[in-house]
Amino acid sequence: MKIAISGKGGVGKTTILALLAHHLKSRFARILVIDADPSPHMAQALGIEHPERITAIAEMRELLSERAGKTEGSPFYNLNPEIDDLPERFMQERDGIKLMVLGAIPTGNSGCACAENTVLKRLLTKLMLGKDQAVLLDMEAGVEHLGRGTIAGVDHLLIVVLPSAASVRTALKIRQLAREVGIPRMSLVGNGIQTPEDAAFIESQLGESLIASFPDSQEIRGAERRGLPLATVVGAMSRPLRDMEAALLPA
């Protein structure tokens, strides 16, 4: 299964995806997390100690061409890589979860990451998964990645929404674009939910139910401030994580 997460900047998508990765270890033998945010923070959330040692996916262009046996002048690639087949230099592992990083735009005025996103799109489209494998993708905030069609190869898109008008507006745009690129399943995840009225506001504005509601958590905030991996607070978020699992992987 390939799951992506998106939302307006600051909604907590990286935090929720890191928690979900740890929670799903009981369901999948192999979990690969891909950080496709130009300002990557997933390494800290997962407790990866030396993320600078990871070769960015953006550098995978030559590898994809070599393994595909691409002939000069041909636009076609035959590569169908598996998770276990990807070179170790492109990832690091912590607590049974592997992390890959797309790569950030290093300087101002250096343009968009168009080439990098093309590599990611190709990888997501071609990556072969077994029943015991899952890929979780942390997208950049906003809607640009959908405009580029980067995540057209995912099975399920999670849209994280705060109980605010601005967050709802972004969620509406994300959902519209996701439908246009043909993502088969989408679900709403509430964050910062303190009262039933918070959840009701999101659901009324978006016209569908939340599959899970995460509270504004002191445990998560404390772990992030101390630089601790979010694995330390998975237990405190067990209820919304179980709700997500039930929606993503129905019995």
CA distances from 96 to 92, 93, 109, 177, 231 (A): 10, 6, 38, 33, 11
HSE (CB half, 13 Å, CA atoms) of 179? 6
Band (pLDDT 50/70/90 cuts) for residue 153 is confident
Domains defined along the chain, listed by start: 2-248 (3.40.50.300)
CA distances from 82 to 55, 98, 123, 194, 248 (A): 18, 13, 10, 41, 22
Residue 50 in this model has a pLDDT that exceeds 90: no
pLDDT digits 0-9 by tens, 77-89: 444 566 666 777 8
Band (pLDDT 50/70/90 cuts) for residue 4 is very high
pLDDT higher at 95 or 118:
95
pTM for the model: 0.85
Residue 125 in this model has a pLDDT that exceeds 90: no
Angle between helices 165-180 and 196-206 (to 10 degrees): 40
Report the mean per-residue pLDDT for the chain.
83
pLDDT higher at 120 or 180:
180
Band (pLDDT 50/70/90 cuts) for residue 227 is confident
> What's the pLDDT at 233?
93
Q: Which residues pair with 33 in a beta bridge?
A: 99, 136
The token duo for 248 is 């993503």
